[in-house]
């Protein structure tokens, strides 16, 4: 547990005095009837949450635009409390976001339609495919042609947008409306803030968890074969990357239910920079030391760590595992491993964002809904200490360092609305509606592209009431929240151009995985290219922003 | 009867010129000078504003565009006013020239300028001039030269596409049953978007697990039919997809040439006792050479721009085996926002293509003449 967390708990510990104060206050409220009113309010909110979660109902088909509108309508309460009907008449807002898998902006349209009807504002939409998003945003920033008022954006781009003064600071009333304190610990400041100012309405929480096949890791035949192969450990879900490697190699050539069975699935094909996260998930347990916040660059110099022994070991693991993976794995990107392989029953372990858990049960294309389990990413028996240059074995056991990759999507309001008070309020009202507490619960339970990101999302009973299987959802939520709250979580640097670093690395990694260069040489090449990029972007500024993003 | 001789035209011009009043001429010239001054002033103010030398200026470059449009109109009006009939004639050409300057010549020159900048969109400092550094970096960029190497393979493959297309064109030119049906069917791949082909063929038909092509390959004894995992197989697979889309284009041009060919020549060859191969090699092929050269040049130009299928199916992998110059530039520009270097790569590639095609045209011209 971190020191500040410990201190906070000490402060919150109730003593006799605070208990008596609380009891007296409660009694006073009870006599005035206020407690009854609060209870009614709480019950009404519970009713609302239960009601929206039945639209359309888990396992009752994919939600449609009409469902999104119904949910948006039911969740208008906080907006109505602060905005008069028709108050934004004549206001036109431009909203830029994604249209991945027909979600994101398409959902927002539905959610905001009742908001538009009530407030009188009108929204025009700029829909972008994932691949178009980064260049479109960068061009708008660099050429000073920001033509949108509200933006769906991931935290890694905060350096590009908030660092350049292009975003509008969140008003206090929005913080209250969205209950900003409900966010999970790792999404609280510095994430979403820049120079102490808050900019983001968080609608998503991103980290890589570990998805595995429960049927394969409980199969008696495979367990016997495992023992027969001379393994002393029990057959089961690997807890460390060393075990992942051993299991992957063991499963090569084995059959399960008459089919070829594979172990871990790597994603070696470039994916617009996003593929690098998957090497990151293999590397964090080796590279993120509990005594060091940094794991990708040195804090004071931005010297890349990609060619240190920890990262090279992760790269070598991929090289060693690939021959035991499907024959065409070299041409598999994360979309392939997640949606065409794992959900289709190929492979027994992958790291991915929480989408896999969301989709495994709900999607018709998934065949693993009943046999998938979740955990935080595997650990490592030893961890590289960049400060001493040695591998440490921790007294606490294997080192775990969940990869908090991408830090989730958020809604940002652009600074260009600041000059018009009505438009400013309208833009923030729209953002607050999308990031509302109740609406967020619906979004994380149904296919939306967004995952749990609030402490209030951890209420298992709500998930079960919505139709989720208790065992399944407990495993899923634990994997998410235990990653977010892990004391040694590896948080992504929010520095300008971070995807450029990833994209450069992907190019070199594909050469390494194709056998054109060895792991160390390839890693050295990546490090050299990263150094060049840091110089191009401005080393001193990058160092400052990197430190700020780490809270160092 | 009207006198249309050149001497008469000169006489007519002279008369028309003499008829224009001096004040009108001065007014016409004045229009042009005034519009030029407006354009230059707007341009200079904006340049100084953007460079931070002066505070007044415009929020964007749109006023410069308006200035150019105004100048273009003034130039046209000025021509007519100052030069009369001759100015009116110039007016027929002027819009096209000004449009070409605006959308071809200026962007090309601007491209050369961008290529001399160190401009990464994520850089907080913005663009700055760095001379020939991008060119120097390009010569040390393994990815660029690897992609150029791959382009040699892809370009040479055009010869194979041409041979297949010629065969198909000959077949469709022959008196075969269902000729019209096959002509339409053979054209279908050309009508498909390469992106659709990437998904339909590269990611579905040739998919390792369930793709029919992979299943067939397994039935034929290939244990692990991974079409994109080994360098040469991946290269050939990409080439096959691109050929499938492009062969109909070559075929249709060749077919048009074959249909325009005089039948008497072939009949004469037949009378002289030439067999099918001799007729083709000594008669059809030489006659078709100009058409062939034209279609090959066009096809090579298209081939040198190959990117979409590569980006969608392999992203240039495995290990850069299928990468093309365009797909590499796409990554530099799009994924890495490296505008200056990306433009430098594109401009250098453009120059290479111009040189290559100039040499190719000269060689083909000589060869055609020799064969003829």
Q: Give, to the nearest 10 degrees, the angle between helix B62-83 and helix B22-50.
A: 170
B205-264 per-position pLDDT tens digit: 998 888 899 999 999 999 889 999 999 999 999 999 999 999 999 999 999 999 998 888
Would residue B98 count as lying in a domain? yes
Q: Which residues of B touch A334 (CB under 8 A)?
A: none
| Nearest residue in chain B measured CA to CA from A142 | B121
Q: How far is B185 from chain A (nearest CA, A)?
A: 32
Point out the residue among A145, A160, A512 whose CB comes nearest to the CB of B122. Answer: A160
Question: pLDDT tens, A247-279?
Answer: 999 999 999 999 999 999 999 999 888 899 999
Tell me whether the omega of the peptide bond preceding residue B318 falls within 30 degrees of 0, making it cis: yes
> Cα–chain-centroid distance for residue A32?
45
Predicted pLDDT at A33:
43
Closest residue to B318, CB basis, from A272, A333, A514:
A514
B317/A538 Cβ within 8 A:
no
Contact B315 A516 (CB under 8 A): no
Contact A503 B335 (CB under 8 A): yes
Please tell me the predicted confidence (pLDDT) of residue B367. Answer: 84
Query: Are B337 and A135 within 8 A, CB to CB?
Result: yes
* Distance of residue B290 Cα from the nearest chain A Cα, in angstroms: 42
pLDDT tier for residue A36 given thresholds of 50, 70 and 90: very low
Q: Give the pLDDT of residue A336.
A: 92
The four Cα atoms B363, B366, B368, B370 give a dihedral, to 10 degrees, of -140
Residues A438 and A45: beta-carbon distance below 8 Å:
yes
Domain boundary (B57, B91, B123) is at: B123
Q: How many domains does chain B divide into?
A: 2
Q: Which helix (H) or strand (E) holds A385?
A: strand A383-385
Assess if residue B128 is contained within a domain.
no
pLDDT tens-digit readout, A112-169:
999 999 999 999 999 998 767 878 888 888 777 899 999 999 888 888 888 888 999 9
pLDDT at A17: 38
Which pLDDT belongs to residue A12? 39
Q: Same domain for B23 and B157?
A: no
Q: Is residue A10 scored above 50 in pLDDT?
A: no
User: Is the per-residue pLDDT at B2 higher than 70?
Assistant: no
* The pLDDT of residue A29 is above 60: no
Phi, psi of B318 (to 5 degrees): -75, 130
Whether residue B45 has a cis bond before it, omega within 30° of 0 = no
In a domain, B289, yes or no: yes
Distances from the Cα of A530 to the Cαs of A292, A307, B211, B315, in angstroms?
21, 11, 39, 21
Cβ pair B315:A270 closer than 8 A:
yes
> Which residues of chain B are within 8 Å of residue A166 when distances are taken between CB atoms?
none
B310 touches chain A (CB under 8 A): no
Closest CB to A514 among B227, B317, B338: B317
pLDDT in tens, B97-107: 999 999 999 99
Test B208 with A503 for CB contact under 8 angstroms. Answer: no
What does the block give as tokens for A71? 């949910």
Structure tokens at A220: 């008696």
Report whether pLDDT(B133) > 80: yes
Mean pLDDT value across residues B4-26 = 67
CB A216 within 8 A of CB A262: no
Q: Is B57 on the interface with A (CB under 8 A)?
A: no
Q: Is A138–B121 a contact, with Cβ atoms under 8 angstroms apart?
A: yes
The answer to whether the Cβ–Cβ distance between A536 and B123 falls below 8 Å is yes
Q: What is the pLDDT of residues A195-218, one digit of tens each?
A: 889 999 999 988 999 999 999 999
Alpha carbon dihedral A239, A244, A245, A247, in 10-degree steps, equals 110
Cβ contact A269–B315 (<8 Å): yes
Q: What confidence score (pLDDT) does residue A135 get?
A: 80
**A183: three-class secondary structure by DSSP:** strand
Last residue of a domain, one of B101, B123, B145: B123
**pLDDT top residue among A59 and A269:** A269
Q: Is residue B294 part of a domain?
A: yes
On whether residue B335 sits in a domain, the answer given is yes
Q: Provide the shortest C-alpha distance from residue B331 to chain A (in Å).
A: 8
| B267 token code pair | 């009949």
**B124, B228, B321 ranked by CB distance to A328: nearest:** B228
Within a domain: B132: no
Write down the mean pLDDT value for chain A: 89
- Of residues B118, B226, B317, nearest to A510 (C-beta): B317
Going through A11-162 in order, the beta strands assigned E by DSSP cover 92-98, 122-128, 150-154
Q: Are B81 and B28 in contact (CB under 8 A)?
A: yes
Same-domain pairing of B158 and B53: no
The residue assigned the tokens 């260049």 is: A135
pLDDT for the residue numbered A423: 97
Q: Within this chain, do residues B348 and B282 fall inside the same structural domain, yes or no?
A: yes
Same domain, B256 and B310: yes
Domain of residue B333, CATH code: 1.10.3720.10
- Class of residue A323 by CB neighbours under 10 A (exposed 0-12, middle 13-18, buried 19+): exposed
The CA distance from A326 to the nearest CA of chain B, in Å, is: 9
Q: Are residues B116 and B164 in the same domain?
A: no
Nearest CA in chain A to B206: A328
Measured between beta carbons, the chain A residues lying within 8 angstroms of B334 are 131, 134-135
pLDDT of residue A493: 86
| B318–A513 C-beta distance less than 8 A | yes
CB contact under 8 A, B337 and A504: no
For range B276-298, the mean pLDDT:
92
| Contact call for A270 and B234, based on CB within 8 A | no
Say whether both B301 and B340 belong to one domain. yes
Cβ contact, residue pair B335, A141, below 8 Å: no
Contacts of B121 in chain A (CB under 8 A): 138-139, 141-142
Q: Whole-angstrom distance between the N-terminal and C-terminal Cα of chain B?
A: 46
Instruction: Tell whether B76 and B160 lie within a shared domain.
Output: no
Cα A458 to Cα A440: distance, rounded to the nearest angstrom: 12
| Residue A138 to residue B318, Cβ atoms within 8 A | no
Name the residue in chain A with its Cα closest to that of B333.
A135
> Rounded to whole angstroms, how far apart are CA atoms A513 and B318?
8
Distances (CA, A) of B333 to A422, A504, B62, B319: 38, 12, 24, 20
Helices H / strands E in chain B, number of each: 17, 2
How far B44 CA sits from the closest chain A CA (Å)? 19
Q: Are residues B114 and B187 in the same domain?
A: no
Contact B125 A268 (CB under 8 A): no
Q: Which of B92, B123, B154 is the last residue of a domain?
A: B123
- Alpha carbon distance A153, A411 (integer Å): 6
**Rounded Cα–Cα distance for residues A362 and A354 (Å):** 13
Residues B83, B197: one domain? Answer: no
Alpha-carbon distance A293 to nearest alpha carbon in chain B (angstroms): 24
Chain A residue numbers with beta carbons less than 8 Å from the beta carbon of B317 are 268-270, 330-331, 510, 514
ipTM of the complex: 0.83
Question: Which of chain A's residues have a Cβ under 8 Å away from the Cβ of B228?
Answer: 328, 330-331
Pairing relationship of beta strands B128-129 and A200-202 according to DSSP bridges: unpaired
Among B122, B317, B335, beta carbon nearest to A496: B122
User: How much is the pLDDT for A13?
Assistant: 38
Q: Are residues B200 and B326 in the same domain?
A: yes
Q: Name the residue among B122, B125, B333 with its Cβ closest to that of A497.
A: B122
Quick check: B331 contacting A, CB < 8 Å?
Answer: yes
Per-residue model confidence (pLDDT) at position A43: 56
DSSP code for A417 = G
Q: What is the pLDDT of residue A32?
A: 42
Tell whether B193 is covered by a domain: yes
Question: Which of B336, B340, B345 should be substituted to probe chain A, the one whose Cβ sees the most A Cβ atoms within 10 Å?
Answer: B336
The residues with which A211 forms a beta bridge, in sequence order, are A350, A374
CA distance A175 to B102: 50
A390-392/A92-98 β-pairing = unpaired
Beta bridge partners of A198: A193
Find the helix or strand (DSSP H, E) in which A245 lies. helix A241-251
Domain range for B97:
6-123
pLDDT, position B18? 56
**How confident is the prediction for chain B on average, in pLDDT?**
90
Query: Are A519 and A472 spatial neighbours (Cβ–Cβ below 8 Å)?
Result: no
**B positions 235-294 inside 8 Å of A (CB):** none
Per the CB < 8 Å rule, is B229 touching A139?
no
- Kindly identify which residue of chain B lies nearest to residue A505, measuring between CA atoms: B336
DSSP per residue, B60-122 = SSHHHHHHHHHHHHHHHHHHHHHHTHHHHHHHHHHHHHHHHIIIIIHHHHHHHHHTTEE-BTT
**Gyration radius from chain A CA atoms:** 24
> What pTM did the predictor assign?
0.85
CA distance B311 to B326: 9
Task: Determine the Cα–Cα distance for residues A353 and A450; give it in Å rounded to an integer.
Answer: 10
User: Which positions in chain A touch B126 (Cβ < 8 Å)?
Assistant: 142
Q: How many CB pairs under 8 A join A and B?
A: 122
For tokens 């040694």, the residue is A488
Classify residue B197: in a domain, yes or no.
yes
Instruction: Identify the CA nearest to A187 among candidates A415, A444, A463, A472.
Output: A444
Taking the alpha carbons at both ends of chain A, their separation in whole angstroms is 18
**Residue B258 contacts residue B170 (beta carbons within 8 Å):** yes
Q: Which two tokens stand for residue B122?
A: 């994520």
- DSSP lists the bridge partners of residue A256 as A259
Q: Are residues B101 and B144 in the same domain?
A: no
With a CB cutoff of 8 Å and minimum separation 6, the contacts of B158 are B296, B299, B300, B303
CA distance B8 to B1: 13
Stretch A457-471: mean pLDDT = 91
Q: Which of A145, A268, A327 sits opposite B208 (nearest CB)?
A: A327
Contact B124 A504 (CB under 8 A): no
Task: Please report the beta strands in A174-322, taking only residues with DSSP state E, as ranges in sequence order.
Answer: 193-194, 197-198, 200-202, 209-213, 255-256, 259-260
Position A9 pLDDT exceeds 90: no
Greater confidence (A508 vs B15) lies with A508
- Checking if the pLDDT of B183 tops 60, the result is yes
H helix and E strand count, chain A: 22, 16
Segment A507-530 mean pLDDT: 96
Whether the Cβ atoms of residue A71 and residue A111 lie closer than 8 Å to each other:
yes
Q: Do B54 and B147 share a domain, yes or no? A: no
For residues B304 and B151, the answer to whether their CB atoms sit within 8 Å is yes
pLDDT at A15 over 50: no
pLDDT at A523 > cutoff 80: yes
Which residues in chain A touch residue B118, judged by CB atoms under 8 angstroms apart?
536
Residues from chain A that touch B331, judged by Cβ atoms under 8 A, are: 270, 503, 507
Mutate to test the interface with A, among B117, B319, B320 (most CBs of A within 10 A): B319
Write out chain B residues lying below 8 Å of A328, CB-based. 208, 224, 226-229
């Amino acid at each position: 547990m971190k020191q500040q967390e410990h201190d906070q708990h000490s402060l919150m510990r109730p003593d006799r005095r605070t208990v008596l104060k609380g009891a007296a206050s409660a009694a006073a409220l009870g006599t005035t009837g206020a407690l009854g009113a609060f209870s009614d309010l709480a019950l009404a909110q519970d009713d609302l949450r239960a009601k929206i979660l039945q639209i359309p109902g888990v396992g009752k088909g994919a939600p449609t635009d009409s469902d999104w509108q119904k949910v948006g309508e039911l969740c208008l309460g906080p907006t109505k409390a602060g905005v008069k009907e028709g108050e934004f008449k004549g206001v036109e807002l431009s909203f830029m976001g994604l249209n991945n898998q027909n979600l994101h902006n398409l959902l927002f349209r539905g959610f905001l339609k009742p908001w538009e009807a009530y407030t009188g504002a009108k929204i025009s939409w700029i829909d972008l495919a994932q691949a178009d998003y980064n260049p479109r945003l960068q061009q708008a920033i660099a050429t000073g042609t920001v033509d949108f008022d509200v933006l769906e954006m991931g935290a890694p781009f905060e350096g590009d947008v908030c660092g350049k003064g292009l975003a509008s600071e969140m008003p206090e009333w929005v913080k209250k409306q969205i209950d900003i304190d409900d966010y999970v610990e790792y999404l609280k400041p510095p994430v979403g803030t820049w120079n102490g100012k808050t900019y983001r309405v968080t609608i998503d929480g991103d980290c890589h968890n570990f998805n595995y096949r429960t049927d394969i890791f409980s199969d008696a035949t495979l367990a016997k074969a495992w023992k027969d192969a001379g393994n002393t450990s029990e057959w089961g879900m690997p807890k460390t990357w060393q075990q992942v490697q051993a299991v992957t190699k063991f499963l090569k050539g084995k059959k399960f239910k008459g089919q070829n069975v594979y172990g871990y699935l790597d994603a070696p094909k470039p994916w617009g920079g996003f593929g690098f996260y998957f090497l990151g998930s293999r590397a964090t347990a080796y590279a993120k030391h509990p005594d060091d916040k940094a794991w990708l660059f040195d804090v004071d110099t931005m010297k890349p760590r990609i060619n240190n022994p920890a990262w090279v070991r992760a790269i070598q693991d991929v090289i060693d595992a690939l021959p035991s993976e499907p024959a065409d794995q070299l041409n598999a990107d994360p979309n392939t491993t997640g949606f065409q392989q794992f959900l289709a029953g190929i492979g027994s372990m992958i790291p991915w964002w929480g989408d896999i858990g969301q989709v495994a049960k709900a999607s018709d294309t998934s065949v693993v809904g009943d046999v998938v389990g979740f955990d935080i990413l595997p650990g490592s028996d030893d961890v590289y200490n960049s400060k001493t240059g040695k591998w440490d074995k921790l007294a606490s056991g294997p080192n775990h360092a969940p990869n908090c990759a991408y830090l989730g999507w958020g809604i940002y309001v652009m600074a260009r609305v600041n000059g018009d008070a009505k438009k400013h309020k309208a833009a923030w009202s729209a953002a607050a509606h999308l990031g509302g507490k109740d609406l967020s619960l619906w979004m994380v339970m149904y296919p939306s592209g967004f995952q749990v990101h609030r402490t209030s999302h951890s209420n298992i009973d709500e998930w079960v009431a919505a139709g989720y299987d208790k065992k399944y959802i407990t495993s899923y939520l634990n994997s998410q929240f235990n990653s977010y709250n892990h004391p040694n979580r590896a948080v992504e640097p929010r520095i300008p151009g971070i995807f450029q670093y990833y994209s450069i690395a992907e190019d070199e990694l594909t050469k390494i995985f194709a056998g054109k260069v060895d792991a160390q040489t390839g890693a050295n090449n990546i490090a050299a290219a990263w150094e060049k990029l840091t110089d191009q972007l401005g080393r001193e500024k990058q160092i400052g922003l990197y430190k700020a993003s780490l809270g160092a | 009867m009207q006198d249309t001789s050149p001497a008469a035209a000169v006489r007519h011009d002279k008369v028309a010129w003499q008829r224009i009043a001096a004040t009108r001429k001065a007014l016409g010239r004045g229009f042009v000078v005034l519009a030029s001054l407006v354009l230059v002033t707007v341009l200079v103010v904006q340049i100084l504003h953007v460079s931070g030398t002066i505070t007044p200026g415009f929020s964007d470059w749109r006023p410069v565009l308006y200035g150019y449009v105004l100048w273009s109109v003034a130039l046209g009006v000025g021509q007519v006013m100052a030069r009369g009939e001759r100015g009116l004639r110039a007016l027929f050409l002027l819009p096209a020239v000004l449009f070409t300057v605006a959308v071809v010549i200026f962007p090309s020159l601007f491209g050369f300028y961008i290529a001399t900048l160190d401009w990464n969109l994520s850089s907080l400092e913005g663009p700055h001039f760095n001379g020939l550094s991008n060119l120097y970096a390009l010569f040390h960029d393994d990815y660029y030269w690897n992609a150029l190497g791959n382009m040699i393979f892809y370009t040479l493959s055009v010869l194979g596409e041409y041979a297949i297309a010629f065969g198909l064109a000959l077949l469709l030119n022959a008196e075969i049953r269902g000729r019209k049906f096959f002509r339409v069917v053979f054209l279908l791949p050309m009508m498909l978007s390469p992106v659709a082909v990437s998904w339909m063929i590269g990611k579905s038909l040739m998919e390792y697990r369930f793709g029919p092509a992979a299943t067939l390959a397994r039935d034929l004894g290939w244990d692990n039919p991974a079409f994109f995992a080994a360098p040469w197989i991946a290269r050939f697979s990409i080439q096959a997809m691109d050929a499938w889309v492009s062969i109909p284009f070559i075929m249709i041009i060749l077919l048009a040439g074959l249909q325009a060919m005089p039948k008497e020549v072939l009949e004469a060859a037949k009378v002289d006792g030439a067999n099918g191969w001799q007729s083709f090699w000594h008669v059809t092929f030489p006659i078709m050479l100009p058409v062939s050269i034209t279609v090959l040049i066009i096809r090579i130009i298209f081939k040198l721009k190959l990117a979409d299928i590569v980006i969608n199916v392999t992203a240039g992998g495995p290990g850069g085996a299928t990468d093309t110059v365009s797909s590499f530039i796409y990554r530099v520009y799009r994924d890495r926002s490296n505008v200056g270097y990306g433009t430098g790569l594109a401009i250098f590639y453009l120059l290479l293509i111009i040189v290559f095609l100039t040499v190719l045209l000269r060689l083909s011209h000589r060869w055609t003449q020799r064969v003829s």
